[in-house]
């Protein structure tokens, strides 16, 4: 018999509309699974059980009475969507993955949280994130490590590791996530999911989180392209004061998931920007198989030179160090920072304003050149990561935080260029190793063209078969 967590987010919403299942039943089902499984998975930093049940009761009453916004339920009405613990939810603890924020309760909602609430989604809790979202793995002092459900000895990635672990383990149907240097695509690859990093300006970071250089954005993680597209429709918005604005797509992203992409010209490269990064044979196998699949669907796949070279790495590091200093930390609490965070902040505090501006200017110049060089391609195919999921603790199994940082760079040398350029990108969960570990590939699109990426991804998903080959981890 089909269980509630076997249904996609859109299927759950349809069942709610048809009154085949109630939001209360859905919430109770997920809360039971979280209580039973999450100690092993590490998906949640905070579970808001009573808040979720109250939201579910209100949603059920609105469905029963017909007292709905605009008279009809939104496409995800009554569906649980947890919020990443780097985002503010009013009256709910927000830790930012850091022991320095223990006891902090947010006084307001981020605007993306308001959008999700207004669409009738239900918050099961806050998903686990690494300290200030800086590492590409989710291991903190305030929650258990986030583990990929495909092998609970291995990392779920980061910084949206909890969000990805929740969806992959059946502890949420879809999840809010965010991406500042690959933080949606990395855990999506490590957990066998579809994730979208939207174009810069597609989803506001307001009212508190600054745009800065525009590296970071919220986005969806889901099992299916259609679910992710529907969630992106809900999250997409801008607010006055945003520094970037993505042009409207002309139609809903959900509609894009239902239309053919046409014959596309797709560039491809698997050459890492980071010196010393080596691509694992299983990653190469995933990349080559994805290329063949795209060709079999009628697309032209062309080898292209590496878009960026290692000369941009120092400027990106300067910017990244500076991002580590955005979150204010009480000097009396600095001893509670993790070693990597302290190391990054020390370097960030040493960056002068002129050096930061020079780095930002250099990166913008590189992004303009890179986007011009790839303008003739509808999409760009690369690996998402250089290796399959690594064991929990692997990144910090060294004595020096500097080596932890180098491991991060060598593990994820492909993703961050889309954060620098602001263009959209997705992870496609197309490959599993003989040991059953997921390995994703990345498709980057032109700025503002998430719709085309979604159409192409839906075509690929359909060619592979339901749920990307109908795979489930053992915890499912």
- Looking up residue 44, the CATH number of its domain turns out to be 3.90.1300.10
**pLDDT, tens digit, 9 for 90 and up, residues 32-43:** 999 999 999 999
Residue identified by tokens 């929990």 is 392
| Beta carbons of 12 and 78 less than 8 angstroms apart | yes
Instruction: Give the DSSP letter string of 307-344.
Output: SS-GGGHHHHHHHHHHHTTSS---GGGGGGS-HHHHHH
Length of the chain in terms of residues written = 476
**pLDDT, tens digit, 9 for 90 and up, residues 195-222:** 999 999 999 999 998 888 899 999 999 9
Confidence (pLDDT) at 71: 66
Choice among 22, 84, 189, 322 that is catalytic: 84
Residue 251, Cβ neighbours under 10 Å: how many? 11
| Beta carbons of 218 and 178 less than 8 angstroms apart | yes
* Closest among 172, 160, 153 to 135, alpha carbons compared: 160
The β-bridge partners of 391 are 154
Q: Is residue 419 part of a domain?
A: yes
Q: Is residue 418 part of a domain?
A: yes
Cα–Cα–Cα angle for 107, 165, 338, rounded to 5 degrees: 60
**pLDDT, tens digit, 9 for 90 and up, residues 277-296:** 999 999 999 999 999 999 99
| Beta carbons of 140 and 130 less than 8 angstroms apart | yes
336 carries an active-site annotation: no
Backbone angles phi, psi at 59, to 5 degrees: -65, -40
Cα separations (Å) of 456 from 179, 232, 297, 438? 21, 16, 10, 20
Note down the domain range covering 441: 4-470
Residue 140 has pLDDT above 80, yes or no: yes
Cα separations (Å) of 72 from 69, 371, 457? 6, 41, 29
183 carries an active-site annotation: yes
Confidence (pLDDT) at 72: 65
Q: Is residue 476 part of a domain?
A: no
Question: Residue 303: pLDDT band by 50, 70, 90 thresholds?
Answer: very high
Comparing 340 with 70, the larger pLDDT belongs to 340
Q: Is residue 475 part of a domain?
A: no
| Beta carbons of 53 and 146 less than 8 angstroms apart | no
**pLDDT, tens digit, 9 for 90 and up, residues 78-120:** 999 999 999 999 999 999 999 999 999 999 999 999 999 999 9
Distance separating alpha carbons of residues 330 and 170, to the nearest angstrom = 37
Confidence (pLDDT) at 73: 76
Residue 255: partners with Cβ closer than 8 Å, 6 or more residues away: none
Confidence (pLDDT) at 65: 87
Query: How buried is residue 57: exposed, middle or buried, by Cβ count under 10 Å (0-12/13-18/19+)?
Result: middle
**pLDDT, tens digit, 9 for 90 and up, residues 144-167:** 999 999 999 999 999 999 999 999
Confidence (pLDDT) at 467: 78
Residue 251 has pLDDT above 80, yes or no: yes
Q: Please report the beta strands in 14-162, taking only residues with DSSP state E, as ranges in sequence order.
A: 44-47, 83-84, 125-127
Q: Is residue 266 part of a domain?
A: yes
Residue identified by tokens 């070279």 is 309
* Closest among 5, 470, 9 to 231, alpha carbons compared: 9
Averaged pLDDT for residues 360-374:
96
Choice among 98, 111, 155, 159 that is catalytic: 159
Choice among 155, 183, 322, 421 that is catalytic: 183
Averaged pLDDT for residues 373-399:
97
Q: Is residue 347 part of a domain?
A: yes
Question: Residue 430: pLDDT band by 50, 70, 90 thresholds?
Answer: very high
Residue 54, Cβ neighbours under 10 Å: how many? 14
Q: Is residue 35 part of a domain?
A: yes
* Total domains in the fold of the chain: 1
* Closest among 457, 454, 420, 462 to 441, alpha carbons compared: 457
Question: Residue 473: pLDDT band by 50, 70, 90 thresholds?
Answer: very high
| Beta carbons of 302 and 266 less than 8 angstroms apart | yes
Confidence (pLDDT) at 1: 66
Paired tokens of 82:
């947890």
Averaged pLDDT for residues 410-434:
97
Residue 469: partners with Cβ closer than 8 Å, 6 or more residues away: none
Q: Are strands 265-268 and 379-383 parallel, antiparallel or unpaired?
A: parallel
Distance separating alpha carbons of residues 130 and 395, to the nearest angstrom = 13
Residue 469 has pLDDT above 90, yes or no: no
pTM: 0.98
Question: Residue 74: pLDDT band by 50, 70, 90 thresholds?
Answer: confident
| Beta carbons of 156 and 162 less than 8 angstroms apart | yes
Residue 5: partners with Cβ closer than 8 Å, 6 or more residues away: 29, 30, 33, 170, 171, 173, 476
84 carries an active-site annotation: yes
Averaged pLDDT for residues 259-288:
97
Q: Is residue 285 part of a domain?
A: yes
Q: In this structure, what DSSP letter does residue 154 have?
A: B
């Amino acid at each position: 018999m089909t269980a509630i967590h076997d249904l996609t987010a859109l299927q759950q919403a349809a069942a709610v509309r048809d009154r085949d299942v109630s939001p209360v039943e859905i919430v109770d089902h997920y809360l039971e699974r979280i209580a039973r499984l999450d100690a092993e998975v590490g998906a949640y930093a905070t579970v808001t059980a009573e808040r979720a049940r109250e939201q579910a009761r209100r949603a059920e009453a609105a469905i029963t009475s017909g007292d709905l916004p605009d008279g009809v339920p939104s496409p995800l009405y009554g569906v649980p969507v947890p919020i990443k613990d780097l985002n503010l939810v009013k009256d709910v603890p927000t830790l930012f993955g850091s022991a320095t924020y223990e006891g902090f309760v947010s006084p307001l909602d981020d605007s993306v949280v308001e959008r999700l609430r207004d669409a009738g989604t239900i918050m099961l809790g806050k998903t686990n994130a690494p300290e200030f979202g800086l590492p590409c793995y989710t291991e903190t002092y305030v929650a258990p490590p986030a583990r990929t459900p495909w092998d609970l000895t291995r990392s779920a990635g980061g910084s949206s590791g909890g969000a990805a672990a929740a969806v992959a383990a059946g502890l949420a149907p879809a999840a809010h996530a965010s991406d500042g240097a690959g933080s949606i695509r990395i855990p999506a690859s490590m957990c066998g999911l579809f994730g979208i990093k939207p174009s810069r300006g597609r989803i506001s970071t307001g009212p508190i989180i600054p745009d800065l250089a525009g590296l970071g954005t919220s986005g969806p993680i889901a099992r299916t392209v259609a679910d992710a597209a529907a969630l992106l429709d809900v999250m997409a918005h801008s607010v006055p004061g945003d520094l970037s604005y993505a042009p409207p797509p002309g139609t809903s992203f959900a509609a894009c998931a239902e239309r053919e992409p046409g014959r596309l010209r797709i560039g491809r490269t698997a050459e890492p920007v980071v010196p010393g990064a080596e691509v694992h044979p299983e990653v190469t196998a995933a990349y080559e198989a994805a290329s063949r699949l795209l060709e079999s669907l009628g697309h032209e796949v062309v080898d292209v030179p590496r878009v960026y070279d290692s000369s941009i790495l120092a400027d990106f590091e300067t910017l990244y160090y500076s991002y580590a200093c955005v979150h204010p930390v009480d000097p009396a609490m600095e001893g509670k920072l993790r070693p990597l965070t302290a190391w990054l902040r020390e370097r960030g505090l040493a960056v002068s304003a002129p050096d930061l501006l020079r780095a930002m200017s250099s990166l913008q110049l590189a992004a303009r050149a890179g986007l011009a060089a790839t303008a003739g391609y509808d999409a760009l195919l690369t690996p998402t990561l250089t290796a399959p999921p690594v064991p929990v603790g692997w990144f910090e199994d060294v004595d020096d935080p500097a080596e932890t940082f180098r491991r991060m760079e060598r593990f994820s040398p492909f993703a961050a260029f889309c954060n620098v350029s602001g263009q959209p990108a997705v992870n496609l969960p197309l490959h599993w190793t003989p040991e059953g570990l997921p390995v994703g590939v990345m498709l980057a699109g032109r700025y503002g063209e998430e719709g085309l990426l979604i159409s192409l991804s839906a075509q690929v998903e359909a060619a592979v078969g339901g749920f990307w080959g109908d795979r489930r981890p053992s915890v499912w």
